[in-house]
Amino acid sequence: MQYAYSLPKLPPRVTEEEYEAILEKSVEKLEFRNGQIVMMAGGTDTHSLVKGNLIYALKGALSKRPCRVYDSDMKVKVEASGLNTFPDASIVCGQPKFNSDKRITLLNPGAIFEVLSEGTEAYDRGEKFWNYRHMPSLKTFVLISTAQARVEVFELGADEQWQLTTFDGFDACLRLKHYDIELPLSSLYEKTDLDPATPKEEV
Protein backbone atom coordinates (compact mmCIF):
# COMPACT_ATOMS: atom_id res chain seq x y z
CA MET A 1 0.00 0.00 0.00
CA GLN A 2 1.05 3.61 -0.54
CA TYR A 3 0.58 6.18 2.18
CA ALA A 4 0.07 9.91 2.34
CA TYR A 5 0.52 12.07 5.40
CA SER A 6 -1.97 12.04 8.27
CA LEU A 7 -5.37 13.44 7.41
CA PRO A 8 -5.71 17.22 7.91
CA LYS A 9 -7.83 18.74 10.68
CA LEU A 10 -7.54 15.67 12.88
CA PRO A 11 -6.17 15.71 16.43
CA PRO A 12 -2.61 14.39 16.79
CA ARG A 13 -3.86 11.33 18.63
CA VAL A 14 -7.27 9.65 18.70
CA THR A 15 -8.76 6.63 20.42
CA GLU A 16 -9.58 3.49 18.48
CA GLU A 17 -13.27 4.22 19.00
CA GLU A 18 -12.83 7.66 17.45
CA TYR A 19 -10.90 6.10 14.57
CA GLU A 20 -13.68 3.58 13.91
CA ALA A 21 -16.27 6.38 13.85
CA ILE A 22 -14.19 8.39 11.37
CA LEU A 23 -13.49 5.31 9.22
CA GLU A 24 -17.19 4.45 9.02
CA LYS A 25 -17.88 7.78 7.29
CA SER A 26 -14.75 7.86 5.16
CA VAL A 27 -14.56 6.93 1.48
CA GLU A 28 -10.81 6.40 1.88
CA LYS A 29 -8.96 3.54 3.58
CA LEU A 30 -7.58 4.81 6.87
CA GLU A 31 -4.94 3.07 8.95
CA PHE A 32 -4.85 3.41 12.74
CA ARG A 33 -1.25 3.41 13.93
CA ASN A 34 0.12 4.40 17.33
CA GLY A 35 -2.94 6.48 18.10
CA GLN A 36 -2.83 8.28 14.74
CA ILE A 37 -4.89 8.04 11.58
CA VAL A 38 -3.01 7.68 8.30
CA MET A 39 -4.69 7.80 4.90
CA MET A 40 -3.78 4.98 2.52
CA ALA A 41 -3.48 6.23 -1.05
CA GLY A 42 -3.74 4.32 -4.28
CA GLY A 43 -0.74 2.79 -6.00
CA THR A 44 0.74 2.66 -9.49
CA ASP A 45 -0.65 0.61 -12.35
CA THR A 46 1.92 -2.12 -11.61
CA HIS A 47 0.90 -2.17 -7.94
CA SER A 48 -2.76 -2.51 -8.91
CA LEU A 49 -2.11 -5.23 -11.49
CA VAL A 50 0.10 -7.29 -9.19
CA LYS A 51 -2.48 -7.08 -6.41
CA GLY A 52 -5.27 -8.20 -8.73
CA ASN A 53 -3.16 -11.01 -10.16
CA LEU A 54 -2.26 -12.14 -6.65
CA ILE A 55 -5.88 -12.36 -5.48
CA TYR A 56 -6.86 -14.27 -8.62
CA ALA A 57 -3.98 -16.73 -8.25
CA LEU A 58 -4.61 -17.34 -4.55
CA LYS A 59 -8.32 -17.93 -5.03
CA GLY A 60 -7.63 -20.42 -7.78
CA ALA A 61 -5.01 -22.29 -5.79
CA LEU A 62 -7.20 -22.51 -2.68
CA SER A 63 -10.61 -22.95 -4.31
CA LYS A 64 -11.03 -26.56 -3.12
CA ARG A 65 -9.99 -25.85 0.46
CA PRO A 66 -11.81 -24.29 3.42
CA CYS A 67 -9.81 -21.08 2.96
CA ARG A 68 -10.94 -17.53 2.32
CA VAL A 69 -8.86 -15.02 0.38
CA TYR A 70 -9.50 -11.39 1.26
CA ASP A 71 -8.41 -8.37 -0.75
CA SER A 72 -7.42 -4.95 0.56
CA ASP A 73 -11.02 -4.09 1.48
CA MET A 74 -10.69 -6.32 4.55
CA LYS A 75 -9.25 -4.52 7.56
CA VAL A 76 -6.91 -6.47 9.82
CA LYS A 77 -6.31 -5.64 13.47
CA VAL A 78 -3.28 -6.63 15.50
CA GLU A 79 -4.85 -6.96 18.93
CA ALA A 80 -1.51 -6.91 20.78
CA SER A 81 -0.46 -3.51 19.41
CA GLY A 82 -3.74 -1.93 18.29
CA LEU A 83 -2.65 -1.53 14.65
CA ASN A 84 -5.60 -1.45 12.24
CA THR A 85 -4.59 -1.67 8.59
CA PHE A 86 -5.59 -2.93 5.16
CA PRO A 87 -3.06 -5.45 3.79
CA ASP A 88 -3.12 -6.08 0.06
CA ALA A 89 -4.30 -9.66 0.65
CA SER A 90 -4.85 -12.05 3.53
CA ILE A 91 -5.85 -15.68 3.96
CA VAL A 92 -7.88 -17.44 6.62
CA CYS A 93 -8.29 -21.22 6.55
CA GLY A 94 -11.09 -22.35 8.81
CA GLN A 95 -13.38 -19.97 10.63
CA PRO A 96 -12.53 -16.26 10.35
CA LYS A 97 -12.59 -14.30 13.60
CA PHE A 98 -13.84 -10.72 13.62
CA ASN A 99 -13.86 -8.08 16.32
CA SER A 100 -17.61 -7.45 16.00
CA ASP A 101 -20.77 -8.63 14.30
CA LYS A 102 -20.12 -6.09 11.52
CA ARG A 103 -17.40 -8.47 10.21
CA ILE A 104 -15.23 -5.64 8.88
CA THR A 105 -12.12 -6.24 11.01
CA LEU A 106 -10.31 -9.57 10.73
CA LEU A 107 -8.35 -10.81 13.75
CA ASN A 108 -6.88 -14.17 12.68
CA PRO A 109 -5.21 -14.14 9.24
CA GLY A 110 -2.88 -17.05 8.63
CA ALA A 111 -1.09 -15.27 5.79
CA ILE A 112 -0.66 -11.61 4.89
CA PHE A 113 0.61 -10.20 1.58
CA GLU A 114 1.97 -6.72 0.96
CA VAL A 115 2.74 -5.41 -2.53
CA LEU A 116 5.66 -3.05 -2.06
CA SER A 117 5.97 0.51 -3.26
CA GLU A 118 8.85 2.94 -2.97
CA GLY A 119 7.12 5.04 -0.33
CA THR A 120 6.08 2.18 1.96
CA GLU A 121 8.72 -0.51 1.59
CA ALA A 122 10.67 0.46 4.71
CA TYR A 123 7.49 0.56 6.80
CA ASP A 124 6.21 -2.76 5.42
CA ARG A 125 9.52 -4.47 6.16
CA GLY A 126 10.04 -2.88 9.53
CA GLU A 127 7.35 -1.56 11.84
CA LYS A 128 4.45 -3.17 10.02
CA PHE A 129 6.00 -6.65 10.00
CA TRP A 130 6.92 -6.16 13.66
CA ASN A 131 3.23 -5.55 14.39
CA TYR A 132 2.08 -8.48 12.27
CA ARG A 133 4.42 -10.85 14.11
CA HIS A 134 2.38 -10.27 17.26
CA MET A 135 -0.61 -12.07 15.73
CA PRO A 136 -0.69 -15.69 17.04
CA SER A 137 -2.53 -16.86 13.89
CA LEU A 138 0.03 -15.53 11.41
CA LYS A 139 2.35 -18.14 9.88
CA THR A 140 3.19 -16.56 6.51
CA PHE A 141 4.13 -13.01 5.51
CA VAL A 142 4.84 -12.19 1.87
CA LEU A 143 6.43 -9.10 0.32
CA ILE A 144 6.03 -8.64 -3.43
CA SER A 145 8.27 -6.20 -5.25
CA THR A 146 6.96 -3.88 -7.97
CA ALA A 147 10.46 -2.81 -9.04
CA GLN A 148 11.56 -6.28 -10.16
CA ALA A 149 10.25 -9.83 -10.32
CA ARG A 150 11.02 -10.75 -6.72
CA VAL A 151 8.93 -12.19 -3.90
CA GLU A 152 10.12 -12.63 -0.32
CA VAL A 153 8.33 -15.15 1.86
CA PHE A 154 8.69 -15.19 5.64
CA GLU A 155 7.36 -18.39 7.20
CA LEU A 156 7.14 -19.35 10.85
CA GLY A 157 9.02 -22.58 11.47
CA ALA A 158 8.49 -25.30 14.06
CA ASP A 159 11.07 -23.54 16.23
CA GLU A 160 8.91 -20.38 16.23
CA GLN A 161 11.56 -18.56 14.18
CA TRP A 162 10.74 -16.67 10.99
CA GLN A 163 12.55 -18.07 7.97
CA LEU A 164 13.04 -16.09 4.76
CA THR A 165 12.94 -17.57 1.26
CA THR A 166 13.39 -15.33 -1.78
CA PHE A 167 12.07 -16.13 -5.25
CA ASP A 168 13.74 -14.20 -8.06
CA GLY A 169 13.06 -13.90 -11.75
CA PHE A 170 10.06 -14.07 -14.04
CA ASP A 171 10.48 -17.83 -14.47
CA ALA A 172 10.60 -18.56 -10.71
CA CYS A 173 7.77 -20.22 -8.81
CA LEU A 174 6.63 -18.94 -5.44
CA ARG A 175 6.08 -21.70 -2.85
CA LEU A 176 4.01 -21.31 0.32
CA LYS A 177 4.82 -24.24 2.59
CA HIS A 178 1.99 -23.78 5.07
CA TYR A 179 -0.54 -23.94 2.23
CA ASP A 180 1.30 -26.42 -0.01
CA ILE A 181 0.75 -24.29 -3.09
CA GLU A 182 2.98 -22.89 -5.83
CA LEU A 183 2.35 -19.69 -7.79
CA PRO A 184 4.44 -18.82 -10.85
CA LEU A 185 5.86 -15.33 -10.63
CA SER A 186 4.83 -14.92 -14.25
CA SER A 187 1.19 -15.07 -13.13
CA LEU A 188 1.75 -12.38 -10.48
CA TYR A 189 3.46 -9.98 -12.88
CA GLU A 190 1.31 -10.72 -15.92
CA LYS A 191 0.66 -7.64 -18.12
CA THR A 192 2.76 -5.37 -15.90
CA ASP A 193 5.78 -3.46 -17.16
CA LEU A 194 7.91 -6.27 -15.73
CA ASP A 195 6.26 -8.85 -18.01
CA PRO A 196 8.52 -9.52 -21.02
CA ALA A 197 5.39 -10.09 -23.09
CA THR A 198 4.00 -6.61 -22.37
CA PRO A 199 4.51 -4.27 -25.33
CA LYS A 200 6.75 -1.35 -24.42
CA GLU A 201 5.68 2.17 -25.24
CA GLU A 202 7.64 3.85 -27.99
CA VAL A 203 9.56 6.95 -26.90
Instruction: Delineate the domains of the chain, giving CATH numbers in brackets.
Output: 43-188 (3.90.1570.10)
Which residues of the chain, if any, have pLDDT below 50? 1-8, 203
Task: Reduce the DSSP state of residue 111 to 3 states and report it.
Answer: strand
pLDDT at 41: 66
Task: Reduce the DSSP state of residue 65 to 3 states and report it.
Answer: coil
pLDDT at 11: 53
- Dihedral sign computed on CA atoms, order 27, 1, 118, 108: positive
pLDDT at 13: 84
Q: How far is CA 110 from the centre of its chain?
A: 12
Q: Are strands 105-106 and 111-115 parallel, antiparallel or unpaired?
A: unpaired
Cα 170 from Cα 173, distance rounded (Å) = 8
pLDDT at 201: 66
pLDDT at 9: 54
Mark residue 53 as left, alpha or beta (left: phi above 0; alpha: psi -120 to 50; beta: remaining).
alpha
